[in-house]
Amino acid sequence: MSILLHACCGPCAMYPVDMLLNEGRKLDLFWYNPNIHPEFEWNRRLENLHKCADHYGVKLIEGQDECMQEYWEEKTYLAEFGSRCEMCYDIRLDEVARYAAQNGYESFCTTLLVSPYQQHELIVKTAKSKAEQYGVNFEYYDFRPGFRQGQNMARDIGLYRQKYCGCIFSLEESDFKEKILKSFEDQA
Ligand code: SF4
């Protein structure tokens, strides 16, 4: 039986995958990140997650094929959720739990739990709620102690390491916005 490990990007997947494999666990990676904007960035993060999966020889399942710019622009989260991040976690973990339940996985987890910059407790709360809703186990791991190690591992194998969380708001707020926008132009 294996664990479905939702992955937000290659660098954040490095330490959790390494750790779980060292524990002798079987896992599949699962890409479902419609929050990421713009499409160029969405493709770039997926491409680098493939490099991580290839590095470890694990399967990567692509659970969706588009970013959701219009959804963000309509700001529907204001009506339904307390914050944009609450909506973002809900949308992603809903699909992870649903897929895990419907495809016979023992449990699910997410690499979002490696980042000290994410709202860890909110992610856990959302994942537990989705696990209950779909009747599948959420396996909690606090991967955060391995965050720096994972980033170094990503650098060592040449992965792209992004400088904003993923949505259009985080891009606008990034201290590196101009540099990021230039990277889009340079590679267009
Ligand atoms: S800041 Fe990150 S977690 Fe929050 S909404 Fe944007 S992409 Fe999602």
How many Å apart are CA 169 and CA 84, to the nearest integer? Answer: 9
Furthest-apart CA atoms within the chain: distance in Å: 46
Atom of ligand 1 nearest to the CA of 35: 7
Average pLDDT, the chain: 93
Residue 56: predicted pLDDT: 98
Q: Which of 95, 77, 91, 85 shows the shortest CA–CA distance to 30?
A: 95
How large a percentage of the chain has pLDDT more than 70?
Answer: 96
**3-state SS, one letter per residue, for 115-156:** CCCCCHHHHHHHHHHHHHHHCCEECCCCCHHHHHHHHHHHHH
Residue 99: predicted pLDDT: 98
**117 Cβ contact partners less than 8 Å away, ≥ 6 residues apart:** 165
Residue 31: predicted pLDDT: 97
Query: What is the average pLDDT across 49-67?
Result: 92
Q: Which residues line ligand 1 (CB under 6 A)?
A: 35, 84-85, 88, 165-167, 169-170
Atom of ligand 1 nearest to the CA of 36: 7
Residue with tokens 């340079």: 186
Residue 125: predicted pLDDT: 98
Alpha carbon of 34 to ligand 1 centroid (Å): 11
Residue 66 has pLDDT above 80, yes or no: no
Q: Which of 1, 4, 29, 11 shows the shortest CA–CA distance to 115?
A: 11
Phi, psi torsion values for 23, nearest 5 degrees: -80, 0
Atom 5 in ligand 1: residue holding the nearest Cα = 85
Residue 34 has pLDDT above 70, yes or no: yes
Tell me the best of 41, 119, 169, 174 to mutate to test the pocket of ligand 1, counting ligand atoms within 8 Å of each CB and taking the most.
Answer: 169
Q: Which of 3.40.50.620, 3.40.50.2300, 3.40.30.10, 3.40.1350.10 is the CATH number of 3-161?
A: 3.40.50.620
Q: Which of 151, 148, 127, 121 shows the shortest CA–CA distance to 139?
A: 127
Alpha carbon of 21 to ligand 1 centroid (Å): 28
Tell me the best of 36, 41, 81, 84 to mutate to test the pocket of ligand 1, counting ligand atoms within 8 Å of each CB and taking the most.
Answer: 84
Atom of ligand 1 nearest to the CA of 88: 8
Q: Which of 36-45, 89-98, 152-161 has the lowest mean pLDDT?
A: 36-45
Atom 2 in ligand 1: residue holding the nearest Cα = 165
How many Å apart are CA 110 and CA 131, to the nearest integer? Answer: 12
Residue 26: predicted pLDDT: 97
Residue 143 has pLDDT above 70, yes or no: yes
Domain boundaries, the chain: 3-161
Residue 155 has pLDDT above 70, yes or no: yes
Alpha carbon dihedral 17, 138, 115, 188, in 10-degree steps, equals: 70
Q: Which of 102, 35, 101, 96 shows the shortest CA–CA distance to 63?
A: 96
Atom of ligand 1 nearest to the CA of 118: 3
